[in-house]
Structure 1
Amino acid sequence: MMTQELFREDAMLLHCDATVTGVGEGGVLLDRTVCYPLGGGQAGDTGWLIAGEQRWRVTDTRKSKEQPGAIVHLIDGDPPALGAAVRVEVDAARREAHRRFHTATHLLCALLPYPVDGCSITETYARLDFHTDEPFDKDAIQAGLDRLVAEAHPVRHRWITEAELDANPGLVRSMSVQPPRGLGRVRVLEIDGVDLQPCGGTHVSNTAQIGAVVVTRIEKKAAKTRRVVLGFAG
């Protein structure tokens, strides 16, 4: 059974009611969830499952290896029973960090027009690896980020058909993560006047909500790879 992915349409939704549809792979499968599973460079959500007085800590969220389209919530302790009704709650602070960092990486893509060959979005930092041998100016990148955040560009997602994506192959910036195929449509993230590319992650709704992010370092990882690492100010 596939899991309804509520986070795809509303990254601000932090809880929902769900039913346990399976137990295995170290966790619990649900019919619907607000928890984002590890993928696309973004870490999985953590949080809680709640049933009455019982609480289970969700230590990670992953895509099921055994049931395509299902999401596994890794938990501490013995799982709830099959068919049990539970409340799913996301760790709000972790989700907020992921949303801010992920949108900030899209701003980096707008500032640095090179293919992306690596990405990691976590609670404490984000990084993008760009396929280029061009040198990067840390101060210039920081100034660009500060400007795009301050300009308060609206951020929204929409869906396009796979045919539309095929007609616009330049929308795909990543060399290592390709949009999922076979569903007939692809989710794209649009930062008004700044960036448009396929993305299934969680984001803020306006660049101003990213707040103060800093370029903590720039590294030459290989002859054709330049890494930019972001952190939060303070």
Structure 2
Amino acid sequence: MYNHYGALAKSSAIEENHARLEIQFPEDRVPDNLDKESFKETIDNLIKQDLVISSEEVDRGELSHEDLIRTYTNLIPESVRHVRLVKIEGLDEQACGGTHVSKSNEIGDFDLTQLKNKGRLKKRIKLALR
């Protein structure tokens, strides 16, 4: 979503068999219509690329210098001085404290269960693992 529209992750919740992600688009790049099937196909193709996923801890001050950060880093409490960055090889880099796979194809098959408007600039995406 970031590559096509400049959308940033606003919030997320990852569970054992499902996930929710809310993204926010910039004012000038809100898509008129997102097709659920083509969106799922795009995600599925990325998963099948078997991308390496790694992490590293950085000082919070370094976050403003990262070119690949796709989350709202201002959501991280000021008291947090060190942040774990999770990198998806050649695709993305996020500040995150959750559990992650080591390669994208470990995710497996999934269903895109929801692609919903949550206001003019926000979309909610829900996925369920098969």
SS of 2:75 mapped into structure 1: coil
1:171-210 equivalences in 2 (<5 Å): 171-174=69-72, 177-178=75-76, 181-183=79-81, 185-210=82-107
Cα distance, 1:112–1:146 mapped onto 2, change above 3 Å: farther
Which residue does 2:16 correspond to in 1? Answer: 123
Q: 1:136 Cα deviation (Å)?
A: 1.6
Q: 1:131 Cα deviation (Å)?
A: 1.4
Which residue does 1:158 correspond to in 2? Answer: 56
Q: 2:7 aligns with which of 114, 122, 127?
A: 114
Residues 127 and 228, structure 1, Cα contact 8 Å, conserved in 2: yes
Residues 51 and 89, structure 2, Cα contact 8 Å, conserved in 1: yes
- Structure showing greater radius of gyration is 1
Cα distance, 1:210–1:110 mapped onto 2, change above 3 Å: farther
SS of 1:119 mapped into structure 2: strand
Q: 1:203 Cα deviation (Å)?
A: 0.3
Greater RCO (CA < 8 Å, at least 6 residues apart): 2
Which residue does 1:137 correspond to in 2? Answer: 35
Give ranges in structure 1 of 5+ residues lacking alignment: 1-107
Residues 2 and 70, structure 2, Cα contact 8 Å, conserved in 1: no
Residue identity opposite 1:125 in structure 2 = H
| Structure 1: distance between partners of 2:89 and 2:5 | 17
Cα distance, 1:149–1:178 mapped onto 2, change above 3 Å: same
Cα distance, 1:159–1:165 mapped onto 2, change above 3 Å: same
Give ranges in structure 2 of 5+ residues lacking alignment: none
Cα distance, 1:162–1:117 mapped onto 2, change above 3 Å: closer
Cα distance, 1:131–1:146 mapped onto 2, change above 3 Å: same
SS of 1:222 mapped into structure 2: coil
Residue identity opposite 2:95 in structure 1 = P
> In the comparison of the two structures, how many residue pairs are matched?
125
> What is the CA RMSD across the aligned residues, in angstroms?
2.6
Q: 1:177 Cα deviation (Å)?
A: 3.1
| Structure 1: distance between partners of 2:97 and 2:79 | 13
Q: 1:193 Cα deviation (Å)?
A: 0.9
| Structure 2: distance between partners of 1:208 and 1:131 | 26
- Structure 2 length-normalised TM: 0.79
Q: 1:111 Cα deviation (Å)?
A: 6.8
Cα distance, 1:157–1:180 mapped onto 2, change above 3 Å: farther
Residues 179 and 198, structure 1, Cα contact 8 Å, conserved in 2: no
- Structure 1 length-normalised TM: 0.47
